[in-house]
Amino acid sequence: MSEQEEQSLPKRVVRTITLTEDDLNMLDEVERVLSKTGHRVKTDSKLIRAAINVASRVLHGKSYDVNEIAEKVVREDGRSLSKLIAKKGS
């Protein structure tokens, strides 16, 4: 990944979180909805980021598009982006 591409990605902060079984079940529901969009949003970090995006928009009374959120989460994920760039280069 080039330096310019790395700089365009959002800053990542690593935090340890504790989830309940109910939280994990809700993440599974989020994954099922996002899978219907055709996006590969399966890692916990992507799922949590998608859920945060939806929750924030709901709290602020804004409409949201699940497909748009899935695209944003996948696009901003460094691992996904580096894989896409590697595929384009080959």
Structure confidence by residue, pLDDT tens digits, 51-90: 999 999 999 999 999 999 998 888 887 665 555 445 555 5
* Structural domain range at position 49: 20-89
With both helix axes pointing from N to C terminus, report the angle between 21-35 and 66-76 in degrees, rounded to the nearest 10: 100
Instruction: Residue 19: name the closest of 40, 54, 44 by CA.
Output: 44
pTM: 0.70
Residue 51 in domain: yes
Q: Which string of b and e fits 41-75 if b means at least 16 CB within 10 Å?
A: beeeebbbbbbebeeeeeeeeeeeebeebbebbbe
pLDDT tens digits, 3-12: 666 667 778 7
Question: Where are the strands (E) in the chain, listed by range?
Answer: none
- Count up the domains in the chain and report the number: 1
Residue 71 in domain: yes
DSSP single-letter state for residue 24: H
